[in-house]
Amino acid sequence: MFFPVMLDLYKKLQEIFYPISIFFLEYTLAPEGKYPTQLREAVQAYQYLLQDLNIDPANIIVGGDSAGGNLTLQLFRHINTPHPEIPIVIPASAKPSKCILSSPWLCMDHKAPSYISNAKYDLMTVTNLSRSASRWKGNISDDFTDPLKASYEGWSSILSPTMVLSGRLELFKDDIQEFCENLKKVRSRRRATG
């Protein structure tokens, strides 16, 4: 299921960015790897692309789906404000050029109306999401784990141009919509003052 989708994406990207390669991080899953293990691995992988392979950050797009979307935002936040438990510092000038969030998991409270209204359509359930979140981060909730709760004022400096994808029948729909509206508010305010 997943790889054919990725290969489809590859073919479409190739039409725009040819040539392009796709790097896939096999991050450690919870409970074996608890927060912020996955962010540490993502930072190491990004540093590998920059330093070992000399890839120009202007030519790097970072994206992810579901929990991978959350990890994408963690990586962008870390580049802006390094996570206290991760000593690897990536300069802000080396931020990836673009960001793709596909049905990102933005808040682990699961209280938005769409968690109820779309329960019969989504392949995930709130029970499973809550269990996964608990196994991953325990009771911790911060700007990295729950990006929807973070002050949205900061996103304009944290993110590169971002594409967000969401389905209208998915559990995350309302959280994603709120996140996008917050991003738009920041952008329009910046335009008004700048």
Partner 1 sequence: MSLEQYIFAAVNRFLFIHLTEEQVVVLHTAVNKKTMRNILETQLSSDITYLEPITGQPFKGIWLVKDNTLSLPEAKVLVWFHGTATQVQLTNS
Binding region for partner 1 (CB under 8 A): 1-4, 6-7, 9-10, 13, 17, 19-30, 41-42, 44-46, 48-49, 53-56, 59-69, 71-72, 96, 100, 105, 121-125, 127-128, 131-132, 135-136, 169
Cβ nearer to partner 1, comparing 6 with 165: 6
CB of 77 to partner 1, least distance (A): 14
Q: Which is nearer to partner 1, 122 or 146 (CB)?
A: 122
Q: 61 vs 186, which CB is nearer to partner 1?
A: 61
Using the minimum distance from each CB to partner 1, give the nearer residue, 32 or 113: 32
Residue 81 CB contacts under 8 Å (≥ 6 apart), including other chains: 158
Distance, CA of 152 to CA of 164 (rounded, Å): 16
The rounded distance, in Å, linking the Cα atoms of 64 and 101 is 6
Write a three-state SS string for 69-98.
Answer: HHHHHHHHHHHHCCCCCCCCCCCHHHCCCE
| In the complex, least distance from residue 9 CB atom to partner 1, rounded to whole angstroms | 8
Residue 146: strand pairing partners: none
Q: How far is CA 7 from the centre of its chain?
A: 20
Q: Write down the least CB distance from residue 188 to partner 1, Å.
A: 29
Q: In whole angstroms, how close is the CB of 51 to partner 1 at the nearest point?
A: 11
Question: 136 or 155, CB closer to partner 1?
Answer: 136
Q: Smallest gap, in angstroms, from Cβ of residue 73 to partner 1?
A: 10
Radius of gyration of the chain (CA): 17
Tokens linked to 20: 């392009």
DSSP 160: -
Q: 163: helix, coil or strand?
A: strand
